[in-house]
Amino acid sequence: MVGSSTGHPQEGHLVFTPPACCHGSVHFNPYGGLAAELAVMLVNAVPDLTPDRLLDLLRERDYRPEGTCSAEELAELKAWARRLEDVFAGTVDRVAALNALLAESATQPYISEHHGRDPHLHFAREDGPMVDRLKAYTASGLAHAFCQDPDRIGRCDREGCGTVYVDTSRNGRRRFCSTRCSNRVHVAEHRRSRGERVDA
């Protein structure tokens, strides 16, 4: 299930609507949920991402096998994250963009039971380079989430924010990454309606 975060997002933090268990959350399939979560993490972490920080984030999410990440591979992964961001933001033809990401990253799908885990799908060889595995994982996960409901992946509507998210709320009408961003926009709109000055 897609996770949740609280407070205003910082680089590297996940941004999701808190699940409501059986009382209203949207239940994405496990692959789409966990992999879409990692896609969000990667995009939001890019500004300050380093090889060590990337490995820390993957360990926090129990991603295995980890592998290593060189400076060159990190640059490649950051470029990949920017393409994922375009899909979240809807600034490209999402179907075409996702198909391109899948075509570039996915190899022959197979079922894995690595590290004693339950059987689950892989879209890249688990003994392959970590960057290649992350590309396949995030592209496939985001594609799963998009196919379940394209309106539930997005980027914060507050100007200057740019944080991406997957909306797992019941009504699926999320526009902002956090309550703080939502409140700032609504307060500014209220002040404008009253003819008050609004700071940028």
- φ/ψ (deg, to 5) at 24: 140, -10
Q: Does the residue 8 lie in any domain? A: no
Nearest to 134 by CA among 60, 47, 69: 69
Separation CA 162–CA 148 (nearest Å): 23
Number of structural domains (the chain) is 1
pLDDT digit string (tens) for 146-200? Answer: 999 999 999 998 888 989 999 888 777 778 887 778 677 666 664 666 565 655 4
Residue 113 counted as domain residue: yes
What is residue 95's three-state secondary structure?
A: helix
Q: Is 52 within the bounds of a domain?
A: yes
Contact 169, 23 (CB under 8 A): no
Query: CATH number of the domain that 142 lies in?
Result: 1.10.3300.10
Q: Is residue 124 part of a domain?
A: yes
Question: Is 198 a domain residue?
Answer: no
Residue with tokens 């360990």: 59
- Tell me, what's the pLDDT at 34? 82
pLDDT tens digits along 90-116: 999 999 999 999 999 877 776 767 677
Residue 119 pLDDT: 76
pTM score = 0.74
Determine the structural domain holding residue 124 and report its residue range: 21-193
Residue 56 lies in a domain: yes
Tell whether 4 is covered by a domain: no
Do the domain assignments include residue 169? yes
Distance CA 137, CA 36 (A): 8
